[in-house]
Amino acid sequence: MEITRENTGDLLTTVTINVAPEDYQDEVKRILKDYSKRVNIKGFRQGKVPLSVMKKMYGKGVIVDELNKIISQALESYVQEQDLVIVGEPMPKTTNLELESELDKSYSLSYEIGLAPDFEIDYGLAGQTPLYLVNIDEEILNKEVQDMQKRFGPMTNPEESQEGDILFGKVSELDAEGNLVEDGLARMAALNPDRVEDEALKEIMGQPKKPEDTFDVKMEQIFPRNADLRRFWESNAQNEKVRNVNDELLEEIKGKTFRFELKRINRIEPMEIGPELFEKAFGEGEITEEADFRDRVSNDMDGFFNNEATRYYRSNTIKSLIEGIELPLPEEFLQSYLVQSREQLTEENVGEIMESYLRSLRWRLIVEKMQKADDTVKVAEEDLRERAEEKVMAQFGAMIGEDQERLDSFVSYYLREEKIVQEIFDEVLEDRVFAHVAQENPPVEETITATEFMEKLKSEAD
């Protein structure tokens, strides 16, 4: 077998594999002889079918299978030996290969391969976003307490709304003349005055209304941030993904007018701060005094906000590394690869996912570079099991106690789910990556109030 390689463009190379008869004929003969022992062919005793007959009947199929196996192994070995960092998968350039049932023909197959460039990680980019230490201020603590009073308060469905009520209904697309669009965009929505920011919409909502009343609204009045608007229309009421809202469709939706038809009024009477609220929020006997209640709420919020601050730092650091490191990719090759490898993609719609695909690919290449430089970034099987134990104990610790056998049983059951294993792997890998980043460039910590942090998230949501 002979393997040759020719660079055919920026970050593109063509590998040609020349397979000689001696590379496949012995294995093909062995397989055909094994077939002859098991097949029944009229005119021949079982196990006595001549090789010439077996070649005529089964030779091409066996040769195809053997060539595929040989070429796959050869490509994999060649990539490893040459230390090539490939993107996508090798794409066959040879088509309509003429196969023969005889075992004395040579075959030549060529594959186009996309390559990742050599690059350096600039860890200085990781210092562009601070790691916020979030303090719970009185303003946001009071708001959370008020939200809890509403959350646990009794709800009624009056016949007529008043200011502060949640309006539940259906939003439906209108045409330029103000008529409902048949089969247009439509779905159920809940308008909560505590979350609506548009003053004009708040005023409309505050006016008395009854079920089946309608009013017209722009989507930007309900969702001023692109991320929230995109999320709303990408899923249905059951939170199932129903469409991909790309930038073009997003702008189209923002320009449309929708009709809101009121279906139900939800009115929540805030629960007084006292024993009943303490019990509903944290369980019987856990909290008895308002000061302790506020401390408990503050501590819970502290954990939540500092987790969010970590996510914010990591998300922005990933963005800074992806966008700041010069890492060109063979985009036309990758676009062709996606179209050929994914049934739902065509030349017309592949562009919708290219940006997110390329960002994801660049991040994967950056992580792989870190793993080559630092073994601690790699995730082993025992790491997955250790993280699974932490999760099981956090959820079922009171039930398991010190029973190691029971813990092992829970963990084994936990790790049967492929989706859960992938989630744990991603968590552990992200922790390892940012431990490595912190070694190269420790994050700069900055204190901020929870209210300031929320305002920052809102301002950057788009």
Residue range 187-197, pLDDT digits in tens = 999 999 988 99
The closest alpha carbon to 90, from 351, 331, 341, belongs to 341
Which pair of structure tokens corresponds to residue 81? 């030996």
| Residues 377-402, mean pLDDT to the nearest whole number | 90
**Range with the largest mean pLDDT of 38-42, 137-141, 227-231:** 137-141
pLDDT in tens, 397-441: 888 888 898 899 989 988 998 999 999 999 999 999 999 999 999
- As separate numbers, helices (DSSP H) first and strands (DSSP E) second, the chain gives 15, 11
Q: How confident is the model at residue 218 (pLDDT cuts 50, 70, 90)?
A: very high
Better pLDDT: 352 or 412: 412
407-427 burial: b if 16+ Cβ within 10 Å, else e: beebbeebbeeeeeeeebeee
pLDDT greater than 80 at residue 237: no
Percent of the chain with pLDDT over 90: 69
Better pLDDT: 40 or 186: 186
CA-CA distances (angstroms) from residue 285 to 150, 166, 174, 202? 21, 32, 54, 40
Cβ count within 10 A of residue 361: 17
Tell me, what's the pLDDT at 462? 55
Mean pLDDT of the chain: 91
pLDDT greater than 80 at residue 46: no
Q: What is the DSSP letter of 167?
A: E
pLDDT in tens, 339-351: 999 888 898 888 8
pLDDT in tens, 68-121: 899 999 999 999 999 999 999 999 987 777 777 778 888 899 999 999 999 999
Cβ-contact 16, 110 below 8 angstroms = yes
The closest alpha carbon to 258, from 225, 232, 231, 227, belongs to 232
Tell me, what's the pLDDT at 461? 65
Count of CA atoms in the C-beta half-sphere (13 A) of 5: 14
CA distance 146 to 194: 11
Burial of residue 278 (CB within 10 Å: 0-12, 13-18, 19+) is: buried
The closest alpha carbon to 15, from 111, 99, 152, 89, belongs to 111
